[in-house]
Chains A and B, each alone.
Chain A
């Protein structure tokens, strides 16, 4: 599975959009981009995933560049409850499903 690179930490003002970048320059054609987040001491929570098109759901938007080498997770109106570690993961479409978590980005939403 391709490796990902994320900034270790970011701050965001409450109510503003949080834009979390992820680099996955070695991604291959059969790999999805997944985003999960983990609030302290809880299990990771699935946020969104995509293959090559931009995706949006009730939690967030995922913007994937045309060459698929990077992506951005957007939380449109960050709240204090969005403070968490955010993981960007690429995972194969075929073969076994297992997720390789990196160190993620610790997002702190500031009042």
Chain B
């Protein structure tokens, strides 16, 4: 079956702009999580959605937001981009059942100039 699909793969934006990233989970998976990876901070949890509801949120400013649609596809949005937002943004999906592993996408590489 198809894996987790993230689009676009690469993105270059200017400071102050906003960006929307998309994630299509594995068919049947209802949980989608987002992570930010930077060389300095490593992999950090942003938020998780389950059945269109945000179930948990990491320690990121309100400029980072997300949503999940009824087909489980998810988007994350970053407004008023800063240089420090340059990172690899990873999406992961799971069935949502406790104790099951996550499948990650290949990520979106965002560069803010």
Q: Which A residues are within 8 Å of any B CB, using their own CB?
A: 32, 34, 36, 41-46, 49, 51, 87, 93-103
Residue of B31, B56, B104 touching A43 (CB-CB under 8 A) = B104
Would B98 and A97 count as touching, CB distance under 8 A?
yes
Contact residues of A: prevailing secondary structure: loop
Contact A44 B90 (CB under 8 A): yes
Chain B residue numbers with a CB within 8 Å of A49 are: 99, 101
- Minimum CB–CB distance from A38 to chain B (whole Å) comes to 8
A32 to B94, CA, bound (A): 15
Give A97 to B94 CA distance when docked, in angstroms.
9
Q: Is the interface of B mostly helix, strand, loop or mixed?
A: strand
Q: Which residues of A contact B42 (CB under 8 A)?
A: 101-103
A46-B104, A97-B55 given. 12 additional CB < 8 A pairs? A43-B4, A43-B90, A44-B90, A44-B104, A46-B102, A93-B98, A96-B55, A96-B56, A99-B33, A99-B35, A99-B45, A101-B35
Inter-chain contact count A-B, CB under 8 Å? 61
**Contact A97 B43, beta carbon cutoff 8 Å:** no
A98 adjacent to B104 (CB under 8 Å): no
In the bound complex, CA of A34 to CA of B102 (Å): 10
Residues of B within 8 A of A (CB-CB), count: 27
- B residues neighboring A (CB under 8 Å): 4, 31, 33, 35, 42-45, 48, 50, 55-56, 58, 88, 90, 92, 94, 96, 98-99, 101-107
Contact A32/B99 with A45-B104, A96-B48, A98-B56 known, Cβ cut-off 8 Å: yes
A94 nearest in chain B by CB position: B98
Closest residue of chain B to A35 (Cβ to Cβ) is B101
Report the Cα distance A72→B102, complex, angstroms: 20
